[in-house]
Structure 1
């Protein structure tokens, strides 16, 4: 986001940003859910056996995605607070 934009953001811009954040959150949560679902399915089948390194890589990806989700949730709360202050 451009510096200074949030200072003068209109309610419309803030609502659009909330929409964008929500869309991004939905996508990230879907990705995390897919990855966790795959891990669950692969649990017992020899065909789906994963090397420990692969599992670690996937878990790292999930953890990083969850960290991004946390940042977005915080940003969403700030944007909502700005919107409340404007109205």
Structure 2
């Protein structure tokens, strides 16, 4: 039995990563658009802690996107080498 990944499996993994990256980018865009917005119970200002949490979440999301993009590039290189 072999552990070799077929080109079709690589294509599916790339397709799955593309979908995940697209969703994370959509969430990132939403978070960027909402950054600093006042909540329903706000008195007109954003708490520093809330803003820091939002910024941390955005930065973490961007880091995950970077990792997934690198993974996608690696899989694409394997697919290119296989075919």
TM range, normalised to the smaller chain? 0.7 to 0.9
- Describe the superposition over 1:7-26 as per-residue Cα deviations: whole angstroms up to 9, x where unpaired: x1100000000011000000
Q: Scaled by the length of structure 2, what TM-score is found?
A: 0.85
- TM-fit CA distance, 1:69: 0.3
Report the number of matched residues: 79
The runs of 5 or more residues in structure 1 that have no matched partner are none
Superposed structure 1 runs of 4+ greater than 2 Å apart: 46-49
Report the counterpart of residue 79 of structure 2 in structure 1: 83
Q: Distance in 1 between matches of 2:46 and 2:74?
A: 40
Name the Cα RMSD after superposition.
2.0
The runs of 5 or more residues in structure 2 that have no matched partner are none
